[in-house]
Structure 1
């Protein structure tokens, strides 16, 4: 082969290198087929609503004319305004028809910093929300809409939507782990769930922390599980469902109320106070709270290592 041909083939090979590297990367990531769904971002709603299938445009038009729509003004809102109202300041949500799904995402909300008022002190931290995590959580609602775990996780004394949120968070973990996510990104979801409690009306419907914490404390083992099909991953993650949720709610409703905290009595849910503190401590530390001082003020035991306690259960 002469020098001119050698240079030609060298250029062709070098030009193919980026494609080869991309193909190699794609082959190294386990393929996951997301369940069918439509996706609309709030910064692209006008175009997105025009391109929605007829079934969705008809369903949304019917909803727009409903008298039950919150914040309804005179006349029916346009479809983009309807979707903005439905989101109502949330970063994401999923709408379901019989066999169809529409995911709404608000990138601006996802960027907002966290402002947390705790014991009359305001803490501010950068957003934990990412587009990828929020999207995968919403896809999780679609992927688990027919899961038998929805019924198995139901509790008569607990918010009815809690099983849906737990399964969506577990789907999020499964997807992130399959893509090689670091622990920090998975911890972010737990922190978000704990932050949702630290308000006058704690958000128990999204509080998946008792389910997520054991997985984070066995991170390498759970990463292996992520190679399994999602139903098998779910079964492993939910092998132990004996959570004392009522006790946690009794503590949280008192601890985060606007009135003076009322959990100082150490006998109140005494058997569960240590694990309750362990579930909160990582998030308190992330916020920048003086954790020992905070726990002491609330007569909660100091747990030096939340995962050490979790693994001893």
Structure 2
């Protein structure tokens, strides 16, 4: 995995990928960075770097795919905008999670977006992917990369918890609520088995047809339930509200609730909110 020192100290560098490489640019040095691209790749991006910076806004990172025989795309990093902690309010108490290697994990997620764009898997080429599919596929690339590079699965669980905490804090993060898909991935494969896939496409070809996916209506139901349970203005738990989604939601958030509260308190909270059991 690319070191934090390289990520923070370099104005630009090339990140290797299963197919080709990506140019990683620190946003303050974007003009210098883009000059490293060959002409046929550079012309696929706006000639004015400020256009890219405006597209990026206040995000910590952004990926732009490029069609090229050896370059998958460009990633912009604004490391100061990448959170180093995540928090949420549960039962009137704020719980926080320190994010280790936050910049590296953000980069891996963005590399995942480029891997999706350059994928040869029939599952990613035969259908138009939704924005939500792009996000969970990018997180699956992140987890596969960690396993492939012999990183601990603690970082995979950190990403899992981070996605849950984000929606606990605000349902505007539902577009990146990749937890249901990450949970399925970790049920299907052990960490060692995940590392045995030589390429991302090989993983997708094996995994994709085995996943249970959610359409937008189903995601909207989860969003409504999350708002009812975690919203700051909620006065009563209403355990029967969206009852058909609660056990499923309980499975997805249990590991995070246990990590924050401890198993005993988490069990009590899940039971109180009708999320314990099928």
Q: Does the TM-score normalized on the shorter chain lie above 0.5?
A: yes
Report what 2:64 is aligned to. 95
Change (3 A) 1:215 1:41: same
Uncovered stretches (5+) of structure 1, i.e. residues with no partner: 1-30, 63-78, 304-308
Tell me whether 1:199 sits opposite 2:169 in the alignment: yes
Tell me whether 1:136 sits opposite 2:136 in the alignment: no
Change (3 A) 1:33 1:242: closer
For the 8 Å contact 1:255–1:261, the answer to whether it is kept is no
Q: How many residues align?
A: 250
Q: Distance in 1 between matches of 2:92 and 2:52?
A: 35
For the 8 Å contact 1:166–1:211, the answer to whether it is kept is yes
Offset at residue 267 of structure 1 (A): 6.2
For the 8 Å contact 1:211–1:238, the answer to whether it is kept is no
Report what 1:286 is aligned to. 259
Q: Distance in 2 between matches of 1:261 and 1:106?
A: 38
Report what 1:298 is aligned to. 273
Offset at residue 188 of structure 1 (A): 1.5
Offset at residue 249 of structure 1 (A): 3.4
Q: Distance in 2 between matches of 1:251 and 1:111?
A: 26
Change (3 A) 1:53 1:115: farther
Offset at residue 57 of structure 1 (A): 7.1
For the 8 Å contact 2:239–2:272, the answer to whether it is kept is no
Q: Which has the higher contact order (CA 8 A, sep 6+)?
A: 2
Uncovered stretches (5+) of structure 2, i.e. residues with no partner: 1-15
Tell me whether 1:213 sits opposite 2:183 in the alignment: yes
Change (3 A) 1:168 1:58: closer
Report what 1:59 is aligned to. 45
Report what 2:156 is aligned to. 186
State the secondary structure of the residue aligned to 1:196. helix
Q: Which has the larger radius of gyration?
A: 1
278-287 vs 122-131, which moves further: 122-131
Q: Distance in 2 between matches of 1:224 and 1:174?
A: 10
Report what 1:18 is aligned to. none
Report what 2:139 is aligned to. 169
